[in-house]
Structure 1
Amino acid sequence: MSKKDPQPSRRYLDMWALPGMHPSNVEILQQMKSADTNHFTTHMDTVGTVSEQDPKTGDWEKTHMVGLRTDVWKLDGEELEDALGVMQDQRRQVLKKDIKKSGRLSAKQQKELDARLESDSVMTMKSGEIEKRRLILKLFKTSTERVRWCGTIEQVTTTEVHNSIGSRRNLLTMVVMLPRNDHVTYIQQNHRTFRIPSLFTFGFYDGSRMHHVTIKRKWVSIGADFDVECDGNSIGEIDGRLFSFGADSYVDVDACDLSENVGFVDLMTLFTASVGYHKAMRKSVDRRVKAALNGESHCHLVCNEELRLLHNGRAAA
């Protein structure tokens, strides 16, 4: 029996400009909060839906939704004040131990500590100076009665800062995690001389071989359009819609091995969903880089979730 030829994959992302105002949000939100997955938390908003086209009939079916972690993207003043309070408590303990390793301070030592606290940059900073924003988007399959998590894309601010300092240009870094996959995929924006449109690259391991993928934003386009290449060969494109309220896009993967790899198509879907946030992400990177170069790296808070992405799995227990 001969093996069937691979079929192309085509998806349409309907990203909402105002998620809270979208008429479908309430219905989907209720569905997701009752889902049997711990990936949809109370701090998540639905920000878009994904429809998939049947390659044989051409019919479209709404199959997925995209969720945004609002607790790390839309930080309110109270959260920043709490973060500042934790930073200052930790800094106070560090300065105290620098004067005396343990025990109560003498009157003279307390006076020295008070003087240090008064002039310390962490103790005098305001909550508005803290840069903690980070993008986390999640993809869920909703076409069946059972809601299922399909992947997460997260911004990696630590890598963004040192890459941006080295290249003198604000560059984005994201990591994608897929279910039942032991490997994470880092999507890195690259800097090329005289290359103004965005250029992203990543390596996708399908379980047997590594695919080297390049996502190039087109020089001239209507909307956010990208060409997708694998090992130097064109395998598809991202076609951004110009006249839309959100960052709506078509994601096309030509007939090939990767077009029938659900994990790869989900990864491309997550990347496309992130495109509408890239401008805000670059502004956040810019503030972090300026803080680091001004000797104020404490203004860039790195959360524990991101630090876990840097965990050394080979380290001895």
Structure 2
Amino acid sequence: MAKRDPRECRRYVDMWALPGMHPSNVELLQLMKSADTNHFTREMNTVGTVSTQDAETGDWEKTHLLGLRTDVWTADKAEMEDAVEVLQGQRRSELKKTIKKNGRLSNKQKAELEELVAQDCVMNMEYGEIEKRRLVIKLFKTTTERVQWCGTIEQITTTEIHNSIGTGKNLLTMVVMLPRTECVTTIQQNHRTFRIPSLFTFAFHDEGHMHHVLLKRKWISMGADFEIEVGGQSIGEIDGRLFSFGADSYLDIDAGELSENRRFVDLMTLFTATVGYHKAMRKSVDRRVKATLSGDTHCHVIEDEEIRLMHNGRAAA
């Protein structure tokens, strides 16, 4: 970390280029196994750390860890084959119902089913044809007696597809879940005709107050730099480092109401951690959109966890 004057609220997000080979990873994984939370699962890998600067002394302390769900971001061949097997099992049931809704099939009906299976594109799909990649990053606090979960940011592929189709641009959508909050926060990338650098917006609700936030990537910068605006006023920035092995950034929030709001700072920390993944995420969106527009929607695997984020809270009303 470079020498900088202390700020009211400053964090340094250190994302590792090669998480599995990072010397701290084994030690941190052991620490996470003792975490007082079930949010760090066996499919997760530690991918970075967060350091917080003392506003008075300027000293830095490592306060948080960042975990990535590798089973949905870098799924291996076996996981992809399992996903295809599930898809094909569901598809076979659908084809069976077109012949007979309930009960066993006769020999003639079984032969008819096998003919449908042989001609169906889903039943003949290979594991390399599906798109399963989705970003899920979790933030954990490590300075307490036991490790605590501080929030999760997840990519929402279903929203990305229809937004991207509507605008003709590959736009990202993420939601953030924070502890002890009833609402999720949706972070949406937006498109302006005459603006190339990306724009993200979200509404942060806390204690009855709604804050409308704009994250505006700078036109000219040496790294992935964003200006943070609330209500049209700049309140801070994300300063991406150009010369780093991972996607490292400083998160600065000016003194004020939100700099003292731990949930907001954690939310911004989670977004900052995703910046280095945006290029790969857009490529994934592009593949999904192309598959959808060509009629191959079956290639787009939607996880149950993502569907649950779309549940209607008033369904029982």
TM-score bracket, shorter-length normalisation: over 0.9
Q: Could you tell me how far apart the structure 1 residues matched to 2:233 and 2:302 are? A: 37
**TM-fit CA distance, 1:207:** 1.3
Q: Could you tell me how far apart the structure 2 residues matched to 1:183 and 1:114 are? A: 47
Moved more, 99-108 or 184-193: 99-108
Q: Could you tell me how far apart the structure 2 residues matched to 1:302 and 1:52 are? A: 36
Q: Could you tell me how far apart the structure 2 residues matched to 1:226 and 1:103 are? A: 59
**TM-fit CA distance, 1:299:** 0.6
Q: Could you tell me how far apart the structure 2 residues matched to 1:254 and 1:8 are? A: 6
- Quote the residue 1:223 is aligned against: 223
Partner of 1:88: helix, strand, or coil?
A: helix
Partner of 2:224: helix, strand, or coil?
A: coil
Equivalent residue letter for 1:255 = A
**TM-fit CA distance, 1:119:** 1.2
**TM-fit CA distance, 1:112:** 2.1
Deviations 1:195-251 (A, max 9, x none): 111100000011121000000100010010011100100000000000000000000
Equivalent residue letter for 2:99 = I
**TM-fit CA distance, 1:37:** 1.0
Q: Could you tell me how far apart the structure 2 residues matched to 1:10 and 1:203 are? A: 22
- Quote the residue 1:275 is aligned against: 275
Partner of 1:315: helix, strand, or coil?
A: coil
TM-score normalised by length of structure 1:
0.96
Q: Could you tell me how far apart the structure 2 residues matched to 1:268 and 1:89 are? A: 40
Q: Could you tell me how far apart the structure 1 residues matched to 2:21 and 2:73 are? A: 18
Which runs of structure 2 are paired with 1:25-64 in the superposition (5 Å)? 25-64=25-64
Equivalent residue letter for 1:192 = R
Matched, 1:202 2:202: yes
Q: Could you tell me how far apart the structure 2 residues matched to 1:40 and 1:86 are? A: 25
Partner of 2:122: helix, strand, or coil?
A: helix
Matched, 1:301 2:265: no
- Quote the residue 1:97 is aligned against: 97
**TM-fit CA distance, 1:312:** 0.5
Equivalent residue letter for 2:248 = D
Deviations 1:58-78 (A, max 9, x none): 111111110101111110111
Q: Could you tell me how far apart the structure 1 residues matched to 2:178 and 2:102 are? A: 46
Partner of 1:159: helix, strand, or coil?
A: helix
Partner of 1:146: helix, strand, or coil?
A: coil
- Quote the residue 1:263 is aligned against: 263
Number of corresponding residues: 311
Equivalent residue letter for 1:134 = R
Which runs of structure 2 are paired with 1:84-233 in the superposition (5 Å)? 84-233=84-233
Matched, 1:237 2:237: yes
Q: Could you tell me how far apart the structure 2 residues matched to 1:182 and 1:108 are? A: 54
Q: Could you tell me how far apart the structure 2 residues matched to 1:29 and 1:293 are? A: 41
- Quote the residue 2:3 is aligned against: none
**TM-fit CA distance, 1:102:** 2.2
Equivalent residue letter for 1:63 = T
**TM-fit CA distance, 1:273:** 0.2
Partner of 1:124: helix, strand, or coil?
A: coil
**Does the CA contact (< 8 Å) of 2:34 and 2:146 recur in 1?**
no
**TM-fit CA distance, 1:126:** 1.0
**TM-fit CA distance, 1:171:** 0.3
Equivalent residue letter for 1:43 = E
Q: Could you tell me how far apart the structure 2 residues matched to 1:103 and 1:19 are? A: 51
**TM-fit CA distance, 1:115:** 1.8
Equivalent residue letter for 1:46 = T
Equivalent residue letter for 2:83 = A
Partner of 1:71: helix, strand, or coil?
A: helix
Q: Could you tell me how far apart the structure 2 residues matched to 1:104 and 1:45 are? A: 45
Deviations 1:239-291 (A, max 9, x none): 00000000000000001100000000000000000001111111110111011
**TM-fit CA distance, 1:108:** 3.0
**TM-fit CA distance, 1:169:** 0.4
- Quote the residue 1:3 is aligned against: none
Equivalent residue letter for 2:136 = I
TM-score normalised by length of structure 2:
0.96
**TM-fit CA distance, 1:103:** 2.6
Structure 1 regions of 5+ residues with no counterpart? Answer: 1-6
Equivalent residue letter for 1:152 = T
Q: Could you tell me how far apart the structure 1 residues matched to 2:152 and 2:300 are? A: 23
Q: Could you tell me how far apart the structure 2 residues matched to 1:15 and 1:76 are? A: 22
**TM-fit CA distance, 1:124:** 1.4
Partner of 2:264: helix, strand, or coil?
A: helix
Moved more, 238-247 or 108-117: 108-117
Q: Could you tell me how far apart the structure 1 residues matched to 2:113 and 2:144 are? A: 61
Partner of 2:123: helix, strand, or coil?
A: helix
Equivalent residue letter for 1:157 = T
Equivalent residue letter for 1:222 = M
Deviations 1:63-97 (A, max 9, x none): 11101011111101111111111111111111111
- Quote the residue 1:17 is aligned against: 17
Matched-pair identity in %: 73
